[in-house]
């Protein structure tokens, strides 16, 4: 009997694929109503290679073990006031950006993978998607629990769900994920599973978690380590999805290519927030955004797309533009938030002289020429008692929803403007990438809930900035404005004073 | 004597997040369940209508006819969040592993007479497909539902059903010496055996239910109580000399039904208590779903136990339970 025993692979197949059946009392088209309209052709779902063969019993066991360890660290961090051990109180602003901008996306991913975990016709990818749905819920909930402790001592985090649904810059990550959630199941898998989790995760997850490690944030870095094995699974699923679609039918190639182009550019725009976090918000720097882009996109992504070339897939459109933008994007974003920090739930500041030197060194082609003079001017204004706040509401790009602050490729002193007409309305874009995305699906992007338009239409609490901030539940003088005068800084200075009294 | 460590006392500025303090009406410490659950799902200012269902937003209260003033009033009495869910299930699974190890060591399913083995293959093993159907429905309720308080336990339940489908599969592998042949035969029963066709039709019909709360009622109150109730609780006589082994190897299922029952009861009774309209809808759905499940289970009970009484008894359990939740079945 033992000679006929199942191998691991066959055993796993029986434990998952064997569970499914072709329905006969209800037509398959009714049971799986969403997996045809995108035009993706699947000849044979059984050709799906299970990327990780994890049965539920092993899943529970591994995950329970990781959770026990993680929560032990979180408890200990809280008990020993770990928040007093971070490198510099400015660091907390990265955490504010994370809980308001990123954790809600983890939750969206949870629900999105529940959707594909139910509605993809193939049982193999469905089981993998369900596990990812559970993992993403884990990430949302453990992030909330990790940051819960910081929320007790610092401002800007207390209203994260309310703000995520309303605040102007948070519509950038929110619309990104709403876009993926409202796409079909295959596009979702390419957008999140492949483009986001595989191509770009090292530019989102890794910078935040490494930033935590460099800046003494033991709670967040423990979460990061704990989530690492989940992330590897998600990457494996992402690469399997794209290979499977490309292997199944040649007609899938142009559809997948269009999605890769779209989601690369969407992702690149969202990651601009991470770029600014790395270059400006981390008091102890991990590496510059430009270096991260070179390692994780130019090199790693280059190898990936070389590997995928055998399917006819080419690197994403405008990858060259994005690479050129790596010289500018963090600076242009930080300059924007510096001007609008009265309307943001985190603080900004001018880089110190030492930090400016670091930026000069990391950005020899651009920093001294284009950005240092601006910071020096603003520093002078601050000294003169006129810290610069920009009170005009900016025009937003209809696609990525970022203010139109980016410059022309090859010309860093001219703002880039693009536009399209759709049903007699004019729509504005920050780049060719964003314009192309709109032009391919104008009926979708014409719906965008653009925060500035909404303010002018009177849908955001009132006509004045204080009305809007009140509607955001943003506490003026606590959550917003320059770091220098903030209550966060005052709190920190008091802790330092009491520490030195004890040491004294 | 007490040992008193000296630490720096640092007063927090706030005890919890703003949305939670507003629900409490005061800024007081919240539990991990509360912080991980309350108001976590986005509710406003969505950007695009789904390409696949443009009549709704992707989170939309109109995807069920049930109306709640606050979907977060339907809390989970188990207070499960991801960590407690996994740690709890890993614990049950530890017991399950020991039971399987014992069954294997003592060869508890090895020496069964062919008729009894055939009965287990034909009537117990096809439940793995019923669990898979439940997994699909609970994933659907998660993706389609509204509010993390209800939807997070739905994906936990989906994971449970996948796990239980795999436990049933392992019973098959124990029976057939790890060849998988028993699972092939069980699938054949599920697909063609007249005893199972009512149940399979019931499950397939549930796959096309668009109202997610109705789907939740059908799955948890009717299919779980009647179909799983019949096979796991009321079929010991049919398992004959293997009855103890079967109950040993399905201990996880018994733990799960008590645990999930607590949650489902809270959700259904909470929704029914919200308004007369909700109560009437749930009553109508439950009455019809339990009747249909009973009709589907009758031929199964007759083929397994010789008469239909056990199916009716399982249905009556479901009816008693529904009535206890504030549902009226004789409307």
Q: Is the pLDDT of residue B226 over 90?
A: yes
For B235-275, how does the pLDDT look when each residue is reduced to its tens digit (9 = 90+)?
999 999 999 999 999 999 999 999 999 999 999 999 999 99
Question: Which residues from B are below 8 Å from A181, CB to CB?
Answer: 50, 58
Q: What is the DSSP string of B22-91?
A: HHHTS-----HHHHHHTT-S--S------TT-TTS-SS-GGGSS---S-GGGS--TT---HHHHHHHHHH
Question: Which residues from A are below 8 Å from B90, CB to CB?
Answer: 60-61, 63-65
B146 part of contact set with chain A, CB < 8 Å: no
The answer to whether A138 contacts B82, with C-beta atoms less than 8 Å apart, is yes
Question: Is B5 strand, coil or helix?
Answer: coil
- Predicted confidence at residue A2, as pLDDT, reads 45
- What percent of the residues of chain A are helix, what percent strand, and what percent coil, each to the nearest 5? 65, 5, 30
Q: How far apart are CA A252 and CA A118, in angstroms?
A: 22
Q: Is the pLDDT of residue A1 over 60?
A: no
The answer to whether B83 contacts A67, with C-beta atoms less than 8 Å apart, is yes
For B26-35, how does the pLDDT look when each residue is reduced to its tens digit (9 = 90+)?
999 999 999 9
User: Given the structure tokens 């060719």, which residue do they identify?
Assistant: A432
For A388-426, how does the pLDDT look when each residue is reduced to its tens digit (9 = 90+)?
999 999 999 999 999 999 999 999 999 999 999 999 999
- Predicted confidence at residue A38, as pLDDT, reads 98
Q: What is the DSSP string of A421-457?
A: EETTEEEEESSHHHHHHHHHSHHHHTT---HHHHHHT
| Domain definitions of chain A by residue range | 29-503
- Predicted confidence at residue B188, as pLDDT, reads 98
Per CATH, the number for A29-503 is 1.10.620.20
Banded pLDDT at B6 (limits 50, 70, 90): low
The answer to whether A178 contacts B140, with C-beta atoms less than 8 Å apart, is no
- Predicted confidence at residue A274, as pLDDT, reads 94
Question: Per the confidence metrics, is the pTM higher than 0.90?
Answer: yes
The residue in chain B having the minimum alpha-carbon distance to the alpha carbon of residue A445 is: B48
Å between B19 CA and nearest CA of chain A? 7
Architecture of domain B81-324: Orthogonal Bundle (1.10)
Q: Is the pLDDT of residue B77 over 70?
A: yes
Q: Choose among A196, A311, A336, A326: nearest CA to A256.
A: A311
Q: Is the pLDDT of residue B331 over 60?
A: no
B111 part of contact set with chain A, CB < 8 Å: no
For A350-389, how does the pLDDT look when each residue is reduced to its tens digit (9 = 90+)?
999 999 999 999 999 999 999 999 999 999 999 999 999 9
The answer to whether A174 contacts B97, with C-beta atoms less than 8 Å apart, is no
Q: How far apart are CA A211 and CA A124, in angstroms?
A: 36
Q: 3-state SS of B238-278? A: HHHHHHHHHHHHCHHHHHHHHHHHHHHHHHHHHHHHHCHHH
The answer to whether B45 contacts A447, with C-beta atoms less than 8 Å apart, is no
Å between B175 CA and nearest CA of chain A? 12
Question: Which residues from A are below 8 Å from B150, CB to CB?
Answer: none
Looking at residues B292-315, what average pLDDT do you find?
Answer: 97
Q: Name the DSSP class of B225.
A: I
Calculate what percentage of chain A has a pLDDT beyond 70.
99
Question: Which residues from A are below 8 Å from B40, CB to CB?
Answer: 107, 140-141, 144, 161
Question: Which residues from B are below 8 Å from A183, CB to CB?
Answer: 51
Q: How far apart are CA B162 and CA B135, in angstroms?
A: 6
For A432-451, how does the pLDDT look when each residue is reduced to its tens digit (9 = 90+)?
999 999 999 999 999 999 99
The answer to whether A153 contacts B10, with C-beta atoms less than 8 Å apart, is yes
Looking at residues A210-226, what average pLDDT do you find?
Answer: 92
Q: Is the pLDDT of residue A346 over 90?
A: yes
- Predicted confidence at residue B1, as pLDDT, reads 65
Question: Which residues from B are below 8 Å from A155, CB to CB?
Answer: 13
Banded pLDDT at A4 (limits 50, 70, 90): low
| Domain definitions of chain B by residue range | 81-324
Calculate what percentage of chain A has a pLDDT beyond 90.
90
B295 part of contact set with chain A, CB < 8 Å: no
Question: Which residues from B are below 8 Å from A6, CB to CB?
Answer: 173, 178-180
For A284-323, how does the pLDDT look when each residue is reduced to its tens digit (9 = 90+)?
999 999 999 999 999 999 999 999 999 999 999 999 999 9
Q: How far apart are CA A31 and CA B205, in angstroms?
A: 9
Looking at residues B39-56, what average pLDDT do you find?
Answer: 97
The answer to whether B204 contacts A26, with C-beta atoms less than 8 Å apart, is yes
For A244-260, how does the pLDDT look when each residue is reduced to its tens digit (9 = 90+)?
999 999 999 999 999 99
């Amino acid at each position: 009997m033992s000679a006929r025993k199942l191998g691991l692979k066959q055993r796993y197949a029986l434990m998952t694929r064997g569970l499914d059946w072709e329905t006969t009392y209800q037509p398959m088209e009714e049971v799986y109503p969403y997996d045809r309209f995108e035009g993706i052709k699947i000849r044979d779902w059984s050709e799906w290679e299970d990327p990780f063969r994890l049965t539920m019993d092993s899943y529970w066991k591994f995950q329970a073990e990781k959770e026990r360890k993680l929560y032990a660290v979180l408890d200990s961090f809280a008990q020993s006031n770990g928040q007093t051990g971070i490198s510099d109180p400015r660091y907390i602003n990265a955490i504010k950006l994370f809980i308001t901008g990123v954790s809600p996306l983890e939750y969206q991913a949870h629900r999105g993978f529940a959707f594909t975990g139910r509605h993809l016709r193939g049982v193999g990818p469905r089981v993998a998607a369900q596990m990812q749905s559970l993992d993403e819920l884990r990430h949302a909930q453990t992030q909330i629990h990790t940051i819960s402790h910081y929320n007790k001592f610092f401002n800007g985090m207390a209203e994260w769900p309310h703000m995520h649904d309303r605040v102007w810059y948070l519509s950038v990550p929110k619309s990104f994920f709403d876009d993926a959630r409202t796409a079909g199941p295959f596009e979702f898998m390419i957008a999140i599973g492949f483009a986001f989790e595989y191509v770009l995760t090292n530019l989102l997850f890794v910078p935040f978690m490494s930033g935590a490690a460099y800046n003494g944030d033991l709670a967040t870095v423990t979460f990061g380590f704990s989530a690492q094995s989940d992330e590897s699974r998600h990457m494996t699923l992402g690469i399997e999805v794209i290979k499977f679609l490309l292997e199944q039918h040649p007609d899938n190639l142009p559809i997948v290519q269009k999605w890769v182009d779209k989601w690369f550019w969407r992702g690149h725009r969202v990651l601009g927030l991470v770029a600014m976090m790395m270059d400006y918000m981390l008091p102890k720097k991990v590496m510059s955004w430009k270096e991260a882009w070179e390692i994780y996109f130019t090199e790693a992504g280059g190898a990936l797309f070389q590997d995928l070339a055998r399917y006819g897939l080419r690197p994403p459109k405008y990858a060259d533009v994005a690479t050129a933008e790596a010289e500018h994007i963090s600076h242009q974003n930080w300059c924007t938030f510096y001007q609008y920090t009265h309307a943001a739930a985190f603080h900004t500041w001018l880089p110190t002289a030492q930090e400016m030197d670091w930026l000069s060194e990391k950005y020899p082609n651009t920093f001294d020429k284009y950005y240092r003079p601006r910071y020096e001017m603003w520093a002078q204004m601050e000294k003169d008692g006129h810290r610069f706040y920009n009170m005009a509401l900016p025009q937003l790009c209809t696609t990525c929803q970022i203010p139109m602050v980016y410059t022309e490729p090859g010309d860093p002193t001219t703002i880039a403007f693009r536009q399209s007409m759709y049903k007699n309305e004019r729509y504005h874009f920050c780049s060719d990438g964003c314009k192309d995305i709109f032009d391919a699906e104008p009926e979708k992007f014409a719906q965008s809930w653009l925060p500035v338009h909404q303010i002018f239409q009177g849908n955001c609490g009132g006509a004045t900035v204080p009305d809007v901030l009140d509607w955001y539940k943003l506490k003026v003088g606590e959550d917003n404005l320059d770091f220098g005068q903030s209550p966060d800084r005052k709190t920190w200075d008091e802790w330092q004073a009491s520490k030195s009294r004890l040491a004294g | 004597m007490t040992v008193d460590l000296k630490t720096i006392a640092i007063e927090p500025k706030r005890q919890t997040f703003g949305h939670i303090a507003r629900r409490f009406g005061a800024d007081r410490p919240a539990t991990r369940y509360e912080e991980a659950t309350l108001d976590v799902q986005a509710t406003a200012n969505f950007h695009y209508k789904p390409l696949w269902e443009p009549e709704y937003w992707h989170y939309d209260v109109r995807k069920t006819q049930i109306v709640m003033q606050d979907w977060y009033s339907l809390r989970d009495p188990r207070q499960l969040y991801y960590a407690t869910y996994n740690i709890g299930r890993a614990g049950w699974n530890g017991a399950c592993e020991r039971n399987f190890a014992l069954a294997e060591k003592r060869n508890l399913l090895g020496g069964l007479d062919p008729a009894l083995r055939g009965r287990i293959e034909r009537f117990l093993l096809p439940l793995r497909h019923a669990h898979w159907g439940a997994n699909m429905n609970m994933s659907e309720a998660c993706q389609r539902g509204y509010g993390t308080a209800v939807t997070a336990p739905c994906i936990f339940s989906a994971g449970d059903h996948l796990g239980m489908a795999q436990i049933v599969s392992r019973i098959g592998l124990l029976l057939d010496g790890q060849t998988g042949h028993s699972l092939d035969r069980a699938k054949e029963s599920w697909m063609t055996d007249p005893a199972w066709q009512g149940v399979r039709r019931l499950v397939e019909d549930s796959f096309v239910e668009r109202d997610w709360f109705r789907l939740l009622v059908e799955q948890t109150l009717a299919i779980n109580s009647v179909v799983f109730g019949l096979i796991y609780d009321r079929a010991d006589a049919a398992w004959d000399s293997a009855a103890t082994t079967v109950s040993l190897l399905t201990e996880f299922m018994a733990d799960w039904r008590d645990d999930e029952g607590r949650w489902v009861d809270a959700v259904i009774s909470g929704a029914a208590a919200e308004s007369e309209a909700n109560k009437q809808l749930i009553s109508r759905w439950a009455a019809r779903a339990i009747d249909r499940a009973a009709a589907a289970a009758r031929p199964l009970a007759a083929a397994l136990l010789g008469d239909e009484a056990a199916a009716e008894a399982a249905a009556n359990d479901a009816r008693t339970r529904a009535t206890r939740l504030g549902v009226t079945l004789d409307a």
